Structure 1
Amino acid sequence: MKLDVSAAESFVEFAGIQKTYDGEVLVVKDLNLRIRRGEFLTLLGPSGSGKTTTLMMLAGFETPTVGNIMLDGDRIDAVPPEKRDIGMVFQNYALFPHMSVAQNVGFPLKVRGRPKAEIAERVAKALDMVHLGAFAGRMPGQLSGGQQQRVALARALVFEPKLVLMDEPLGALDKQLREHMQMEIRHLHERLGITVVYVTHDQSEALTMSDRVAVFNNGIIQQIAPPSVLYEKPANSFVAQFIGENNRIPGQIVAAKGTTCTVELATGTKVVATLTDAAGVGDATMLSIRPERVKLAPPEGSIDNRFEATVEELIYLGDHLRVRFRLEGGFDVVVKVGNAEDRPVLDIGSRIPLGWRTDDCRALDAA
């Protein structure tokens, strides 16, 4: 998938959006974002980063202070929420407790004045879509959390909206059910071809479900890209640290040529890295290396960065070991070692060489 979305491809567009609640602090700062039709885009970031405010402006529950929002070629920032033809799914489900499942799902059609026969047909179709056809007559209180979330999803889809917005919809579910519902929603998206904008602070959820992820921090999109690009090629230190586990090693750039640089650590150890988001020679940087990219016992001369290391800590996690090594020069690196038959024997105090390729080590901003 292309990283950029052209104006011709754009289904949703935020143009020059700013949002402040008090007239002083900008919660969203100069947001320019295009979303293509049929895309599953996740807004990811910590609390207070601006992701939920962005979703609420798209839904119509908040108004931009500056800028405009387009949906399918029409400007909507002054259009009330009920006239935007947008489905919403929230964390708390927001089901009516005194209505049956079928009545809850049919409510959006009822308020739109659709005929009873059409409502019954669409409700049955929507409930079958989320595998709840046999639960039409039950009350919300008789359903599990996962079933209630499916009802909320069916209600958001029953009137065939242009766009579906989801705000932390799985946050109240336990881990196993949350993972199951992630795949349910993903499969529904693929089957129906709907456009979804999804908000979460859970990076694994974002990586699992999305076509692209927009990482927010301090009201600004730090990077927007497919999950694999975010993980493998983070644009800055914040993205590297927020997406997945990451070894962070501070140093100073002492040489640079093209996209490669040499970084000297405080101990005098030198590391060759890919120059990404650091200014240049003489500047401080933060090296980023994913734990699974560190190789154990690489042959001498086979890899750019190779160091002698000592096992300091071992944590057994079933399918892999999480091993903390102390490298020569006095810095620590965490390595994920697959729990396979051919892995080397590792004990506390064991000494073993390890290393990583230049392409797997990124010199980022020092912030």
Structure 2
Amino acid sequence: MPDTGASDAFVAFERVQKSYDGESLVVKDLNLSLPKGEFLTMLGPSGSGKTTCLMMLAGFETATHGEIKLDGVSINNIPPHKRGIGMVFQNYALFPHMTVAENLAFPLEVRKIGKSDREAKVKRALDMVEMGDFGGRRPGQLSGGQQQRIALARALVFEPELVLMDEPLGALDKQLREKMQFEITNLAHSLGITTVYVTHDQTEALTMSDRVAVFNDGRIQQLAPPDELYEAPQNSFVAQFIGENNTLEGTVQQIQGDRCTVQLANGEVIDAKPVNVTQPGERTRVSIRPERVEVNPELGDTAHTLKARVLEFVYMGDIFRTRLEVAGNRDFVIKTRNRADQERLTPGQEVAIGWLPEDCRALDAD
């Protein structure tokens, strides 16, 4: 669940709301706190409220209600340039008429830092992003990846304690984007900088973050470390949004401790872990990750098996991805490692599938 704010939080949103028209809320009663040095990602689909939260923290948007604090001090009425926050955007926002070194020196000049100190800080920032030899070039002479490094260096050059990043890698190709993910994370952690990162890319969020706040409809649906988000989603939205996921519709028959029985649409009954179901008769969606499902499982490996029909078998190099029809769901996917002894399934083939009950989560039907 979302934080309620902590007295020792470095960044805190306290009951923050945002409306542009005075009626509909883009951000709804947000409570969120970050300790110093954390790398937090705000993840969600377009229109979920994540970028609005970042812009309120930066000072480019004003909260309609509630308070935003930085190191215990309210910053609601402090203008953006006085908040001491570094910003990195997707479009880099570099001045094309300035050299790289001049771009980096600009925020230092604004802060009235002397020339010798400016030069030392610019050199340090460029070395930090491995661009020490590019100070004399203009942004137009750099590749996309180099420009992004310079944008990052400019955000760090005045040594802020907080850096905000809004889809900073969105314009890069896949290979460079993955390389920059690790570079940004390592740099943030080595410098001890608190980072708030906005993206709609779930892989990016899982790879880079200490914690991820999953947004939808103006609210945080779940706030947790990446492995917990993936392994233990708290509702159907998070289960579907984070990674690939299988769902089967059903009705809760019985709940007993950390186990419940669910009757599926085709009449078969399975065991699951009750996550946000509370009583028999309740509609549910059970959630199972593709890699947790076994084909023709050995007796005893799983608590039960279901019949399935192979619809599609795709070779993907390191894994095989198989789409099946299971209990009326024609988009049930399993992923198996490419091993020498792994059976290659064929469309139309009838198989048995199974999984451990603890890997199957009974979530909300909506």
Give the TM-score category using the shorter length.
over 0.9
Across the aligned residues of Structure 1 and Structure 2, the Cα RMSD in angstroms comes to 1.5
- Structure-2 separation of matches of 1:314 and 1:87: 47
Q: Does residue 236 in structure 1 map to residue 252 in structure 2?
A: no
SS in 2 for 1:254: strand
With over 3 angstroms needed to count, the CA separation of the structure-2 counterparts of 1:151 and 1:84, relative to structure 1, is same
- Give the structure 2 partner of residue 65 of structure 1: 64
> Which deviations, in whole Å up to 9, do the C-alpha atoms of 1:9-65 show, x marking residues without a partner?
411000010110100000000000000100000000000000000000000011111
- Structure-1 separation of matches of 2:19 and 2:153: 34
- Give the structure 2 partner of residue 103 of structure 1: 102
- Give the structure 2 partner of residue 137 of structure 1: 136
2:312 corresponds to which letter in structure 1? Answer: E
Deviation at 1:4, TM superposition (A): 6.0
- Give the structure 2 partner of residue 189 of structure 1: 188
Q: What residue ranges of structure 1 are gaps of 5+ in the alignment?
A: none
- Structure-2 separation of matches of 1:302 and 1:44: 35
Deviation at 1:154, TM superposition (A): 0.3
Alignment of 1:119-130 (within 5 A): 119-130=118-129
Greater shift after overlay, 293-302 or 20-29? 293-302
Q: Does residue 261 in structure 1 map to residue 281 in structure 2?
A: no
Is contact 1:5–1:36 with CA below 8 Å preserved after alignment? no
- Give the structure 2 partner of residue 38 of structure 1: 37
- Give the structure 1 partner of residue 169 of structure 2: 170
Deviation at 1:306, TM superposition (A): 1.1
- Give the structure 2 partner of residue 113 of structure 1: 112
Identity of aligned residues (%): 61
SS in 2 for 1:33: strand
> Which deviations, in whole Å up to 9, do the C-alpha atoms of 1:267-313 show, x marking residues without a partner?
10111100001232101001110000001222224311312333221
- Structure-1 separation of matches of 2:66 and 2:338: 52
Greater shift after overlay, 306-315 or 102-111? 306-315
- Give the structure 2 partner of residue 79 of structure 1: 78
Paired residue total: 365
> Which deviations, in whole Å up to 9, do the C-alpha atoms of 1:318-347 show, x marking residues without a partner?
1111101234x4444210011111212322
> Which deviations, in whole Å up to 9, do the C-alpha atoms of 1:58-93 show, x marking residues without a partner?
000111111001101111111100110100000100
Deviation at 1:8, TM superposition (A): 4.2
* TM-score, normalising length: structure 2: 0.97
SS in 2 for 1:184: helix
> Which deviations, in whole Å up to 9, do the C-alpha atoms of 1:111-156 show, x marking residues without a partner?
1111111000000000000000010100000000010000000000
- Give the structure 2 partner of residue 15 of structure 1: 14
SS in 1 for 2:307: strand
- Structure-2 separation of matches of 1:64 and 1:6: 17
Q: What residue ranges of structure 2 are gaps of 5+ in the alignment?
A: none
- Structure-1 separation of matches of 2:201 and 2:8: 28
